[in-house]
Amino acid sequence: MGFENFFESVFNISIWIVAKWLVEIALLVYLVFAVIVVRQVYMMTEVVKEKFNWIVKIISWIHLLFAILVIFLSLAIL
Amino acid sequence: MADIYSGSAKKKPVPASSTKKKPSSEKLPEKTRSPLLKEVRKEVYDMIGKTRNPLSSFVARPTSLNFETQADNEKIILLLRRHWITNLRWLFFAVLMVLAPILLISVPLLSFLPDRFQLIAVLMWYMFTTAYVLESFLSWYFNVYIITDERIIDIDFISLIYKEVSDADIEMIQDVTYKQGGIVRTMFNFGTILIQTAAEKPNFEFADVPNPALVVKILQKMRMEERQEELEGRIR
């Protein structure tokens, strides 16, 4: 009997369901981090204002978007 | 004799709002600057030249850059970041992190997971890699040391949402030393400048900045200029 079956027989729930929700929690924590990064970039660009700061801002928004997309993808396929 | 104690010789009371020292560029507008002051400033400009690359770690007289607490007439002489070579470490780790999932083809470490979990694991790995690269870059790009014609400013972003901005007037600088040791620092000509001031923050550290000897020289010139400005301000 593999660990997968053992877990299912003891807790009466599939291990992959548990794993899915652990992954979702981890991704939500990461999403919060990505939001903080955007906030941080805005704070930094306020302190040191340079004409190329918009590039850094866009990168931080892409990073946040990426984090959101991965959450949706994980909800869809896991 | 009586004139000394009365009339024009008496000090006028200073209003509380004007006790803060005005920037010297207000004290002495460009037109009224003496030839000596102009000469000193020209020497400084000749020494540093002008930098156009915003990603440089030694940005001389930037035109498209200003900072939060900059006064209207304050000019940035130098903006310094850590030498670019100090970025090699995180860049090396970033490249390793980007390439790491390729190893999974020959070493199937995640084979115990279903395919869909493997895909999400790889995506999460790349998210962490992006975060690592972004944080390292932001830390290098925005932790800057600025020398203006009035002040030195040290802008530090210590953690994600904590910033520390310290400044000291140039005339408050008491002692400037620099350290440059080791093979890499000597080869690439960068080092750490320690500035002791009589300001609220007694020590400023410009860590791993390029060309520290030149920066120290610039600071000397700026201090000389500031002393001369004070002297001329008193005479006028």
Please report the sign of the dihedral spanned by the C-alpha atoms of residue B226, residue B232, residue B234, residue B236: negative
What is the pLDDT at residue A11?
A: 74
How many angstroms separate the CA atoms of B149 and B44, rounded? 11
Backbone phi and psi for residue B75, each to the nearest 5 degrees, phi listed first: -110, 135
How many angstroms separate the CA atoms of B11 and B16, rounded? 15
- The answer as to CATH 2.30.29.30 being correct for domain B5-13+26-82+143-231 is yes
What residues does each domain of chain B span?
Answer: 5-13+26-82+143-231, 87-136
| Category of B134 on φ-ψ map: left (φ > 0), alpha (ψ -120 to 50) or beta | alpha
Q: Which of B4, B17, B26 is nearest to B149 (CA)?
A: B26
pLDDT above 70: residue A18: yes
Chain A positions touching B130 (Cβ under 8 A) are 63, 66
Q: ipTM of the predicted structure?
A: 0.84
Residue in chain A lying closest to B129 (CA): A63
How many angstroms separate the CA atoms of B205 and B218, rounded? 16
Interface of B with A in 151-170 (CB under 8 A): 155, 157, 160-161, 163, 165
Chain A positions touching B54 (Cβ under 8 A) are 50-52
Q: What is the pLDDT of residues A19-66, one digit of tens each?
A: 889 999 999 999 999 999 999 999 899 888 888 889 999 999 999 999
User: Is residue B77 within 8 Å of B144, Cβ to Cβ?
Assistant: no
Mean pLDDT of successive 10-residue segments in chain B (236 residues)?
40 40 49 73 80 84 84 88 94 94 80 85 91 92 91 86 86 90 90 89 89 91 84 61
For every residue of B4-65, which 3-state class applies, written as one string? HHCHHHCCCCCCHHHCCCCCHHHHCCHHHCCHHHHHHHHHHHHHHCCCCCCCCCEEECCCCE
B120 to chain A, any CB pair closer than 8 A? The answer is yes
Select the residue of B67, B119, B161 nearest A48 (Cβ to Cβ).
B67
* pTM, to two decimals: 0.80
Q: B54 and A77 in contact by Cβ < 8 A?
A: no
What is the pLDDT at residue A12?
A: 74
Q: What is the pLDDT of residues B170-225, one digit of tens each?
A: 888 888 999 988 899 999 999 999 999 887 888 889 999 999 999 999 999 888 88
DSSP code string of B151-174 = EEEEEEEEETTEEEEEEEEGGGEE
With residue A72 as reference, give the H or E element that holds it. Answer: helix A53-77
Amino acid at B165: V
